[in-house]
Amino acid sequence: MEPSTTQSASFGQIVRNLKDKRLWRIFLIGCASGYPWVLIGGNLTLWLRQEGFERKSIGFMGFVFTVYTINFLWAPILDSVKLNFFGIGQRKSWILLCQCAIVAFTVLLALMGPNWNLALFVVAVVGVGAASATQDLAIDAYRITVIREEEKEMVGLGAAMATGGWWVGSGLPSGILLYLTDLDAFTWNSVYLVAAVAIVPITVVVAWFFEEPKLEQVHVGRNWFLKVLLAYVDTIKDFFRRHGVEIALSLLLFIVLFKIGEAFLGRMAKTFYTDMGFTNTHMGTADLIDTAIVIVFSILAGIVVPRLGIFKMLLIAGIAMAATNLMFAWIAATGPSVSLFYWTIIVDGITTSVSSVAFVAFLTFYVSHLHAAGQYGALASLGTASRTFLGGFSGLLIDGLGGNWSLFFVLTSVAVVPSLFVLALMAIRFKSRGGLLGSKVGSGTPSSPTPTEIRKAGPITNSGRSRKP
């Protein structure tokens, strides 16, 4: 597949594409994907910190996110095992099942609390995480299959809507719930009960008002075990067959390394805010600001990425992310300045949204529709593996630094550099062939390098990293 010379879609065409109902469905299920992070992400670490838990214990709780790393193990099941609750279709049935599980485990979280029965509390956290990780597979499969393979101009917009939805689902409810925790009428337990009830409307809308995408049928016989086993084998074989062994391994290496930059930062963010003296209301306002910024810039990124190219956007965003981490170090050095805090959140939201849209579009380009859940789940899991495992030790790192948050954030900034080196090396490799920097995502033109271009240039052997949606 050689690069096309077709120009990227016009602004008018992009506006017309944004009227497509499928994009707004992708946005809403993106919200559903982000919502569980309100429950087991930053708010959970804040709850634990305010209950007196040590930083290292809070960091270890991050290992719960391992389920997002290994969800590729059961991803092919979502492609091969048919569910059809109430006749709503396979993709939506899996989403419905997962959302019901999230509601049940969230109620258990609210009833237990960390100080009443910690073991059962952890089980509930893992339950929310496992259901959420499985839901992500179903949602990504829905997003990928609802847009036809020939609609290349829609890939960037689909990624933008998914990213924007994720941040709305994780940021807006988080801000509201944090406001509630500062009210005398609410405790963390009651806030989590409110959070469980809030899931229901999205579940109803997705299950009964969304159109189920048409899927190709794969006949593998009647034996259920054989069906699942062949689904795993076919998913892997298809990926390596479509891209070639050399290309596939190079892509996997890049994806694994691309996520390390945010490993420590994300897990300890609200613990840092609490230690600096910011209130729950400050953090709630920051979440709302961040949500608004990400919505706007995710849409803008979806428009710009097709014109500028995925890899060039990733390189720019990576440099900006390193600079943003230094702003957090500035806060740690100067003290709790609310204005500086909000400006840092704004800049971080911009860089995160741009890098997320580019990364999702990058992954989407390399998966097949037939094995959407399995392949996308595997690639996304590889991308989060390093972040999950390293993030679990973030509490130990800050304690090892003697609570020196400034040095902590400087280190997270430096950690971004290797991924930028690899990205730049890839750009140099393919620039002469019109690949990474020259091609655009438009009418049939991916901004990712084509398999032919990568095969000519040879395998990528250097190391680096990245960060996510």
Q: pLDDT tens, 414-443?
A: 877 777 777 776 666 656 444 444 344 443
CA separation for the pair 439, 449 (Å, rounded)? 8
CA separation for the pair 242, 213 (Å, rounded)? 23
What local confidence, expressed as pLDDT, does residue 444 receive? 37
Report yes or no: 371 and 311 within 8 Å, Cβ to Cβ.
Answer: no
For residues 171-180, average pLDDT: 85
Quote the percentage of the chain above a pLDDT of 70: 68
CA separation for the pair 65, 387 (Å, rounded)? 9
CA separation for the pair 200, 170 (Å, rounded)? 16
Task: Determine which of 132-136, 319-323, 421-425 has the lowest per-residue pLDDT on average.
Answer: 421-425
Q: In terms of C-beta density within 10 A (0-12 exposed, 13-18 middle, 19 or more buried), how is residue 159 classed?
A: buried
In the chain, the N- to C-terminal Cα span, in Å, equals 28
Report yes or no: 220 and 226 within 8 Å, Cβ to Cβ.
Answer: yes
Query: Which DSSP state fits 436?
Result: T
Q: Rounded to the nearest 5 degrees, what angle is found at the Cα of 71, between the Cα atoms of 67 and 74?
A: 135
Element (H, E) at 141: helix 118-146
Please name the residue that has the structure tokens 């090892």.
400
Residues 6+ apart with CB under 8 A from 147: 22, 154, 155, 158
Residue range 288-301, pLDDT digits in tens:
888 788 778 877 88
In this predicted structure, the answer to whether residue 260 has a pLDDT above a threshold of 70 is no
> If pLDDT is split at 50, 70 and 90, which confidence band does 245 have?
low
188-209 and 21-34 helices cross at what angle (nearest 10)? 150
For residues 113-124, average pLDDT: 85
What local confidence, expressed as pLDDT, does residue 448 receive? 35
Residue range 14-73, pLDDT digits in tens:
667 667 778 888 888 888 888 898 888 888 888 888 888 877 777 777 778 888 878 777
Q: In terms of C-beta density within 10 A (0-12 exposed, 13-18 middle, 19 or more buried), how is residue 210 classed?
A: buried
Domains of the chain (ranges, CATH numbers): 11-457 (1.20.1250.20)
> How much is the pTM?
0.64
Residues 6+ apart with CB under 8 A from 350: 293, 297, 320
CA separation for the pair 79, 217 (Å, rounded)? 10
